[in-house]
Structure 1
Amino acid sequence: MTWVFLICAVLFECAATLSLRMASQGGSKKWFIAVVAGFLAAFVFLTLALDGGLALGVAYGIWAASGVALAAVASRVLFHEPLTKVMGTGIGLIVVGVLVIELGAAH
């Protein structure tokens, strides 16, 4: 369940960040509710993942890095923001970095 909690934390954080984008563009106040609820849920799930025994460095590294990568891809799809080859390379490096962190934590 620890990994499920961490995945939920990443998804809620990304949803909150995308909602923040909508709220900042003159969206209704309902988007601000989505922002607050999304970040609150993300922190609750991150806390549950930590409580389940996941190391802080691993959990936070995966949470933050995955959120950045997912937000970049989602903003391309939803908001037609640029996603250049250099940015794609950065996302690839994030994925490799997350894997290295996980492998390092196993020792």
Structure 2
Amino acid sequence: MWWALVGAILAEVFATLSLRASDGFRKRVWFGPILAGYLVSFYLLWVSLALGMPVGIAYGVWTACGVALVAIIARVVFADPLTPKMMAGIALIVAGVLTIETAGVAR
């Protein structure tokens, strides 16, 4: 089930970065990658849930990893800002997801 979640995260990051590259859909060539990325992402998220992953853990990991990866990759690819406060926020998101995951596993 983790392989499906990792795939869902990577597809969502690809789709979101494609959305950024589309420049508000002014560059229509990005519509296909955006649509395909989000469809694959939701399908793989569904697969991970169907295989028994708790929704709180799946969604938390999916969104947190997506936020962190998009922020970091967008900094490199698009020169988007990534301030120390933003990096601290990413660290807090990761810490929160790890807390939720370890609490869910401990039950």
Q: Tell me if both proteins adopt one fold, taking TM over 0.5 as the criterion.
A: yes
C-alpha distance in 1 between matches for 2:21 and 2:80: 13
Q: Which residue number in structure 2 is paired with residue 90 of structure 1?
A: 89
The answer to whether structure 1 residue 78 and structure 2 residue 97 are counterparts is no
The answer to whether structure 1 residue 20 and structure 2 residue 7 are counterparts is no
C-alpha distance in 1 between matches for 2:14 and 2:38: 8
Cα RMSD between the aligned structures? 0.9
SS of the aligned residue for 2:82 comes to: coil
Deviation of the 1:48 alpha carbon: 0.5
The answer to whether structure 1 residue 37 and structure 2 residue 24 are counterparts is no
C-alpha distance in 2 between matches for 1:44 and 1:24: 26
Deviation of the 1:65 alpha carbon: 1.1
Structure 1 counterpart of 2:56, one-letter code? G
C-alpha distance in 2 between matches for 1:98 and 1:7: 15
Deviation of the 1:6 alpha carbon: 0.3
After TM superposition, where is structure 1 displaced by more than 4 Å over at least 4 residues in a row? Answer: none
SS of the aligned residue for 1:53 comes to: coil
Deviation of the 1:94 alpha carbon: 1.1
Could you tell me the TM-score, scaled by structure 1's length?
0.94
Q: Describe the superposition over 1:42-90 as per-residue Cα deviations: whole angstroms up to 9, x where unpaired.
A: 0010000001100011101111111111110010010011111000101
Aligned length: 105
Of 89-98 and 34-43, deviating more is 89-98
C-alpha distance in 2 between matches for 1:6 and 1:16: 15
C-alpha distance in 1 between matches for 2:5 and 2:29: 26
Structure 1: state its 5+ residue gaps.
none
C-alpha distance in 2 between matches for 1:91 and 1:17: 17
SS of the aligned residue for 2:22 comes to: helix
Identity %: 46
Could you tell me the TM-score, scaled by structure 2's length?
0.94
Q: Which residue number in structure 2 is paired with residue 48 of structure 1?
A: 47
